[in-house]
Structure 1
């Protein structure tokens, strides 16, 4: 029995959000588990552990570890300093409480401004002063409870991130990198179309470039989390920084190709370079799409011989054209355009080789 169309569409949309569903499940498990632990130990303000477990849960283990460290360090600084202020400065009246808040907030707010990792410190310091529970059990005891509860929430959050449908930062990074590479393939197609048919793809560029920038930012953020996983020995994957650096270099090469392709080639030039340019386009697109799949699945990179042969053929045709008398009858702009296009593709080939090598490193560490 076929399902109604709206149900099938809903299932497809849910299936396309697998990573988001896993994160939501981990957040839920972390919150429930933290609550169960606080009930088991009968902690008076156990809700802070539950809140912390939810707050530290990020898309990857490295991100959760970073959030847990920042949450704990900020809480520890705020609890100690706020507890000391609460113990030393009487705050029974509105005036004295206002003074205590000033003394408690300003130094920690300055610390959070300088080091964002401590951004929860001012909040924790205020909690030491404002809630009646802190006054009922004493400021130092309240500070101790707060640190203990936050620490418990951190432990639960990081444990769930590591063992419940764990999402390693390297995986998130390679998925974002694969997205960048596949968008680069679309970008090359737009550039070649502009060279052969005119600037009809400007609207497509307005859509592709923001997507590439967004994917690069995601890859860079995931690389930072992946580096943290490496430093804490949670993974043996290679250093992520070279991959991100190479992605940006390839991006720069494509910008150069785009500038060279900003206007169509004259008909006499296109007659000479059109066939090899079309072959180069097809080889480049195929290589980039296969490379994106290799990154996405952490497989060995594709062979680049077809692309290299296509580039050599285009370069040879361009050199022959530059030596032809016909070419010298064209404008200096066309001469510069052909030279810039060949130079940009040569630089692109070098950095693409480096990207293939980085992909091979990732596959070797996985296998």
Structure 2
């Protein structure tokens, strides 16, 4: 029994790391295949092709394509300039080699500082000057070999990323977006708890906010790679930018709700608004969790009727405070806090509608793909 439980635990952990396992497999295949091809063509330093194939392999096809383009451009610039320096500047002595290295590095290091996509150029230029490559076979031959090896590694890496358990950037973006939405549900629960003076709220916020920022950055990075895939005609998925923009708008709405929830509501206000506020919290969390699931599975978003009704009730009750005698005895800050919270939730509703529309677009695209297949 103990052995069976241990095996199930291992299988569960492996299942939770499928994306990482697929990437590891692609890296292994790309590096091995690139090195094997260099042996077929008898390239003098074929290990550079294997290194390149491993280095450019990213979590998605778009990421691998971007890394391949950047590495090729950087290698080409470094090989041409480094080869020219090696051919024109004498570097047989230690002093001459030091001068040639300085001449080869500074311009390309400046280029890499201005344009990070050329960060491999100084490295390639330096390799051109160091023995045995730069001196054993001559600068021109060394430059040609280096570009050929790097090109081969790039090609193998991109081909493997395309055909061996491919991971599309658009899929990674949507998964990260779903995580953001799910974390937003946790955030709503904590923020409403702060309004009710929940002592756990502040410490929980210190954990949730960094998680949301990290998930947003991951979604944004995947969106950039998805744009590259679209431009390269590797996918016909929807433009990822609207989804990312909507996620950030929703994030801003939650920040505004958080500001309105920075202080607990007075007990008299909680007696009046507490039931509707708790219902709004529950309906919001239910809708966000359902929306996160819809994003992951590319299904239609859940029905928002419960959320709409809960928000309408809460807003109506906050408006009723204007004519309620209770409002005349409230401090100005508490009275303003209630209406700031109501306004923030209204804006949140509008952006949440846009987010649900993005989910509908994903579901429609999935249905179209299914119909075509």
Give RMSD over aligned pairs. 1.3
The corresponding residue for 2:290 is 290
Q: Distance in 1 between matches of 2:345 and 2:280?
A: 10
1:198 and 1:114 mapped to 2: Cα distance?
Answer: 49
Distance 1:80 1:326 in 2: 79
The DSSP-based 3-state class of the residue aligned with 1:322 is coil
Find the aligned partners of 2:328 and 2:230 in 1 and give their Cα distance.
Answer: 57
Map 1:1-367; keep pairs closer than 5 Å: 3-367=3-367
CA shift for structure 1 position 2: 6.0
Q: Deviations over 1:14-34 (max 9, x none)?
A: 221111111101100101111
Map Cα deviations across residues 171-195 of structure 1 (whole Å, 9 max, x no partner): 1111111111101001111111222
CA positional deviation for 1:278: 1.6
- Tell whether the 8 Å contact from 1:237 to 1:366 is kept in structure 2 after alignment: no
**Whole-angstrom distance in 2 between the partners of 1:58 and 1:39:** 25
What are the superposed Cα offsets for residues 109-150 of structure 1, whole Å, 9 maximum, x if unpaired? 111111111111111111111122332221101100100110
Write out per-residue CA displacement over residues 278-307 of structure 1, whole angstroms, 9 at most, x where no aligned residue: 211111000000011111122221221221
Extract unaligned runs of 5+ from structure 1: none
Query: CA shift at 1:93, angstroms?
Result: 1.2
State the SS of the aligned residue for 1:323. coil
Unaligned runs of 5+ in 2: 368-373
> 1:267, CA displacement in angstroms?
2.4
Cα distance in structure 2, aligned partners of 1:132 and 1:236: 47
Q: Higher mean Cα deviation, 217-226 or 93-102?
A: 93-102
Q: Is the 8 A contact 2:127 2:133 kept in 1?
A: no
1:129 & 1:334 partners in 2: Cα distance? 71
Using the alignment, how far apart are the partners of 2:15 and 2:3 within structure 1? 16
Following superposition, the deviation at residue 323 of structure 1 comes to 1.6
Task: Give the match's secondary structure for 1:3.
Answer: helix
Provide the rounded CA distance (Å) in 2 between the counterparts of 1:114 and 1:248: 28
Question: What SS is found at the alignment partner of 1:264?
Answer: coil
Distance in 1 (CA, whole Å) between partners of 2:294 and 2:343 is 27
Alpha-carbon contact 1:236-1:365 (below 8 Å) kept: no
Instruction: Tell me how far 1:197 sits from its aligned partner.
Output: 4.0
- 2:69 and 2:347 map into 1 onto residues whose CA distance is 42
Give CA-to-partner distance per residue, 1:69-122, whole Å, 9 cap, x none.
010000000001111111111211112111111111111111111111111111
Asked whether the equivalents of residues 79 and 147 of structure 2 are also in contact (C-alpha less than 8 Å), the reply is: yes
> Contact between 2:23 and 2:58, CA under 8 Å: does it hold in 1?
yes
Deviating more after overlay: 212-221 vs 11-20: 11-20
CA–CA separation in structure 2 for the residues paired with 1:270 and 1:322? 15
SS at match of 2:287: helix
How far does the alpha carbon of each residue in 1:307-348 deviate from its partner, in whole angstroms, 9 at most, with x for none?
Answer: 111111111111112221221121111111110110000010
How far, CA to CA, are the matches of 1:264 and 1:100 in structure 2? 68
C-alpha distance in structure 2 between counterparts of 1:251 and 1:129, whole Å:
51
